[in-house]
Structure 1
Amino acid sequence: MLSLLFQLLLFSKPSFEASLCNNLYNGTTKNFKDIVLGRCFYYINSLHKDNCEINSANLNCSLIWDEFYRVIVNKSPCQVSIEDFDQFVHLTSHPYSNEKSVFWSGTYKAVHQISRLKGDWTLEDTLSGYLLDGLSFCSDNKSDNFLTICPTDCVTRNNPFWNAVSKNYASKATGRVTAVLNGTRNSGALSNYSTFFNYELPSMNFKNINHFQVILLHSPEMSKYETCQMPKTLNTLRNILQSNNVTYECIDDNFYLKNFLCIENQNSPECQKLFSAFSKTSSVIPFWHASASIIALTTFNLLF
C-alpha cells in the first residue's frame, strides 16, 4: 500500500511545477520519429508485454511509422483527410476491453490518472492514441520532412489524425460507456467545438451500447456553468442517447476524480472542506498527502 501511495504522490504533483519552463515552440516535436518509434516498441514489448491479445495482433512498429510518414509528409495539414489514415488505423488496431471505454472532453489529466489505475481504456491507452499523445507534427507540400513551425488550422484544431483515430475508437465502444466532461467551461460540457461532440459521439454504434454514464467535473474555485441537475448542453446528449434506447446517467463530481483535482487545488475552500474530516484524524499529514491517502485507500474499489 505504501508503494502505491508513493506512486500516486509522484503522479499527482501540483501542475505549477511543470509550467516553470515557458516553451513557445509550436512546430513538430523535437526527435519526433525517435519518440514515436520508442513509444511503439515500449507499448508492445514492455507496457503490454503480458497482454496476450495485444501480443497476438502482429503489430509492426516500422510499418506503422512508414504509413504515418507517407500520410503526413509532403502535404499541407489541411490537405490530409480523415480517410488518409485508414491504413494507419488498420496497422495499429489491436483487441482491448472496449466494454470499458472512457471518453473525455476538457478533463484530460484527471481522466487518465484514474483510468489507468482502474484498467479502463481511453483513446490514449490504445496504440493509435498512445503513439502521438501530447506530440505535435506537420509538413507541407514543399517539404519531404516534418516542419519546425506548424500552422494552427488542421494541426492544433480540427486535426485529421485525431479525428480519424477518435472516430475509430468510438465505433468500437460496447456495453457500459463513460464520458468525463467539463462542467466549468463556458462552451458547455457537450461543447460544439469538441472532438467528442463532432467525431466520437456520431461514430458510436448505439446498438452495442446499453448504458452511458456522464461524470461532470467542476474545477475548484471556478463557477459551475452546468450541472447534472441544471443541464444546458447535456440535454442534447441525453436526447440522442434516449432516442437510441441507451440508458443515460449523470453524476456531478465523482469523488475519486474530485480528489485528484483537489490535490492540485489544495488551498481552495471547496477542497479544504472536502477533506476536513480526514485532516482532523491525520493532522500530521500535509493536506495534499492526506487527499492522496484517501485515494490510495480506495484504489481497489474505484467505481465511476
Structure 2
Amino acid sequence: MEEEGQRPKLRKRRVRPIIRIIFGIIVVILVIVVIVVLALALRRTSEHEAFKAVFTSRCKAYEGGYDCERTWNAFEQAYVGKDPCMVPPDSYQALMDATPFKPACNRMMFWSKTKNVVHDFTSKRECFITIEDTFLGSLLDGLTWCGKEGSKDTFTSDCPGWTSCVNNTVRSFWNKASASYAEVACGNVSVMLNGSIATPFHPASIFASIEMKNFNPVIMNSLNVVLVTQEKKVSNCSSQSLKDLQKVLDKGIAYSCKEVPESQIQECASQSKTCGSCW
C-alpha cells in the first residue's frame, strides 16, 4: 500500500521536467521572434539611412546650391507608404516642380542602347549633357528604391524590378524625368543610337515612346542622330529603323544622321577636354 501511495508523487516528478522543457522551448522561440523582428527593423532603418546618405551626399556634391532637405522631402512624397507597383510617373510631379530641369541649348544629348559609350564621352568632354548629368539624374542614377504600405521608410531591397510592374517606383521616376528633360530640349539636340543592332530606334524605348513625344518644335531646331557603329555594321543611316524615326519626328524639327565608329568617339574624347565635334 505504501508503494501504491507513492506512485502519484513519482508521476508529478516526471511531469515537472517536461513542463520546464516546454517552457524553455517557448522562451527560446519568443527570443528568436524578437531577434528577427528587431533585425528586420534595424535592416529597414539601415536601408533608409544608407539610401538617404547617398542621396544627400550626391546632392551636396552637385554644383548649384540646391536645398537637399527640401529635395529629399519632395522625392519621398512620391513613393513613401505606397505599394511599390502603384507609383505612376505623375507621383514625381512635385519633385520636378521643386527642381525643374534647366535648358542647355545645343548641348543636350539623348541616348538609347548606348549608355556606356555616351557617358564615357560626356565624362571626358563637357560638350554635351545627358539626363544622368543633370541634378536630378545624378542623384538617382544607378540606384534602386521603393516604399511599402504602412511604412515611412525607404527600402532598397525587395523592390520590384524594372519589368515587374508598369508603375514601379524606379521606372516611373525615369519615365517622368525623361519626359520633363525632353520638354526643355532646345536648339540643336543630339541622340546617340546603337548601330550594332537591327532597330537602333526601337518604338518601345524611352527615347521613342517618351522623349521624342515631348520634344517642342518651338524651342528645338534640329535632332542630330549619332549612329555609333562597330567594325561590322548592322544598321546605317538608311536603315528602316531610322526612316521610322523621321516619320514620327515633328516636321518643324530638322533631321540629320551620321554613322560614327565607336573607336572614333573614344579617341576624340581622350584627346582633348575642350568642346568640339567628334563626328
Shift of 1:160: 0.7
| Cross-structure match for 2:158 | 149
Structural RMSD (CA): 2.6
Matched, 1:258 2:273: no
Deviations along 1:207-232, one digit per CA (max 9) or x if unpaired, are: 22222110111345xx5332113x12
Matched, 1:234 2:242: yes
Deviations along 1:266-301, one digit per CA (max 9) or x if unpaired, are: xxxxxxxxxxxxxxxxxxxxxxxxx5xx65435436
Instruction: State TM-score, norm by structure 2.
Output: 0.73
CA pair 155-137 structure 1, distance change in 2 beyond 3 A: farther
Matched, 1:69 2:88: no
Alpha-carbon distance between aligned partners in 1 of 2:146 and 2:167, rounded to the nearest angstrom: 7
Shift of 1:62: 0.2
Tell me which stretches of 4 or more aligned residues in structure 1 moved more than 6 Å: 155-158
| Cross-structure match for 2:106 | 99
| Cross-structure match for 2:196 | 184
| Cross-structure match for 1:20 | none
Paired AA for residue 75 in structure 2: F
Shift of 1:63: 0.9
Shift of 1:156: 7.8
Q: Contact between 1:118 and 1:302, CA under 8 Å: does it hold in 2?
A: no
CA pair 104-29 structure 1, distance change in 2 beyond 3 A: farther
SS in 2 for 1:144: coil
Q: Contact between 2:60 and 2:68, CA under 8 Å: does it hold in 1?
A: yes
Q: Give percent identity, aligned residues only.
A: 26
SS in 2 for 1:129: helix
Q: Contact between 2:224 and 2:256, CA under 8 Å: does it hold in 1?
A: yes
Matched, 1:130 2:138: yes
Alpha-carbon distance between aligned partners in 1 of 2:168 and 2:205, rounded to the nearest angstrom: 12
Q: Contact between 1:175 and 1:208, CA under 8 Å: does it hold in 2?
A: yes
Instruction: State TM-score, norm by structure 1.
Output: 0.67
Matched, 1:300 2:243: no
Matched, 1:81 2:55: no
SS in 2 for 1:217: strand
Matched, 1:42 2:64: no
Q: Contact between 1:178 and 1:213, CA under 8 Å: does it hold in 2?
A: yes
Radius of gyration: which is bigger? 2
Shift of 1:178: 0.2
| Cross-structure match for 1:275 | none
CA pair 83-132 structure 1, distance change in 2 beyond 3 A: same
Q: Contact between 2:102 and 2:184, CA under 8 Å: does it hold in 1?
A: no
Alpha-carbon distance between aligned partners in 1 of 2:67 and 2:258, rounded to the nearest angstrom: 41
Paired AA for residue 119 in structure 1: C
Paired AA for residue 271 in structure 2: L
Q: Contact between 2:81 and 2:147, CA under 8 Å: does it hold in 1?
A: yes
2:220 equivalent among 205, 209, 212: 209
Alpha-carbon distance between aligned partners in 1 of 2:107 and 2:200, rounded to the nearest angstrom: 21
Alpha-carbon distance between aligned partners in 1 of 2:204 and 2:127, rounded to the nearest angstrom: 29
| Cross-structure match for 2:229 | 218
Deviations along 1:157-198, one digit per CA (max 9) or x if unpaired, are: 981100111100000011100000112234x11112211111
| Cross-structure match for 1:274 | none
CA pair 110-232 structure 1, distance change in 2 beyond 3 A: same
Question: Unpaired segments of 5 or more residues in structure 2?
Answer: 1-46
CA pair 252-41 structure 1, distance change in 2 beyond 3 A: same
Alpha-carbon distance between aligned partners in 1 of 2:150 and 2:70, rounded to the nearest angstrom: 24
| Cross-structure match for 1:120 | 128
Shift of 1:240: 2.5
Matched length: 227
CA pair 73-246 structure 1, distance change in 2 beyond 3 A: same
